[in-house]
Structure 1
Amino acid sequence: MIRVGLISDTHGLLRPQAVAALQGCDFIVHGGDIGDAAILETLRAIGPLTVVRGNNDREPWAADIPETAFLQVCDVLIYAVHDLSQIDIDPAGPKVRVVVSGHSHRPKIEERGGVLYVNPGSAGPRRFKLPIAVAELIVVGDAVTARIVELA
């Protein structure tokens, strides 16, 4: 069993509750709008990090962060992009099993056409009345399940 922690839209705020929720993850994916390079260093101290640049990551430290990224976990291919409207592939084409995104700040898990779409929501500053959340994937071979973890 492999545990993949998903976080997005920190916007410069990495809450202690988010760090605690990600402890023990085998991999972490940040879906963009990071807001501060120090957040990436903290996440890398927890586990291997895959990160994509969000529309608000415009500072020089973010220039080398890709807009999309792939992560292979066992037999599951994960594709990360900040904004779903910016997907530059057909997820079913390269056999992507999971698409991780951010941008909307709305936590959501939805399966479409054999692809699991997961938005962990925002782990940073609260936006409107949306929950503060992260998510996790549990991967066993070619099977994957997802769940949203709301933070207190």
Structure 2
Amino acid sequence: MTSRTHSVPATRIGLISDTHNLVRPEALQYLAGCDAIIHAGDICNQAVLDALARIAPLTAVRGNNDIAGPVAALPTHVKLTVQQVTILVVHDIADVGDDPRGEGIGVVVTGHSHKPAISERDGVLFINPGSAGPRRFKLPISAGMLVIEGAHASARFDLLVT
């Protein structure tokens, strides 16, 4: 008799932030096929969320520019658990507590700076997908992908426009 290990398929979560009213076709194409999408704030218009929600289940937080209409009612922090990983979503990294690992957080997703970045500190994966909205200064237009397999999380960001 052969024993089989049934592994849980990977969950692909598209990461986007700082769209500032702009839904780029490149962003929609990048996020197509994701199991879920996280928007880390500065949405500015409900139509952005509606477009993303047509692709996959959506989690979004309010950014400092989300001050009017339905986006103003979004929470500033969201925690969600995917497989065995707890994710904290907050717009500004300055609003993350001192010890996210102590709170059981494995991944922190932020926006605000418009600068894509991935780092690991004290066993916590920090991801900023950058900005998928209007170009700011010479910063790239980007989005990210978070892949969760059981208790393991990995991430990348990709340029949407060169």
Q: TM-score, normalised by structure 1?
A: 0.97
1:119 equivalent in structure 2: 128
Within 5 Å, which residues of 2 pair with 1:3-152? Answer: 3-88=12-97, 90-152=99-161
Q: Secondary structure at the match of 1:46?
A: coil
The whole-number CA distance in structure 2 between the counterparts of 1:36 and 1:60 is 7
- State the alpha-carbon separation in 2 of the partners of residues 135 and 110 from structure 1: 13
The alpha-carbon deviation at position 89 of structure 1 amounts to: 6.5
Percent identical residues: 52
- Structure 1: tracts of 5 or more residues without a match: none
Aligned residue pair count: 152
SS at match of 2:47: helix
Kindly provide the CA deviation profile for residues 5-49 of structure 1, in whole angstroms up to 9, marking residues without a partner as x.
000000000100001000011111000000110010111111111
Q: Show the counterpart of 2:6.
A: none
1:94-140 deviations in Å (ceiling 9; x for gaps): 21110000000000000000000000000000011111000001111
Larger radius of gyration: 2
What TM-score comes out, normalization by structure 2 length? Answer: 0.91
Deviation string, structure 1 residues 50-108 (Cα, Å, up to 9, x no partner) = 10000000003223200000121100111000001112473112211100000000000
Distance across 2 between alignment mates of 1:80 and 1:99: 6
Asked if structure 1 preserves the Cα contact closer than 8 Å seen for 2:45 and 2:69, the reply is: no
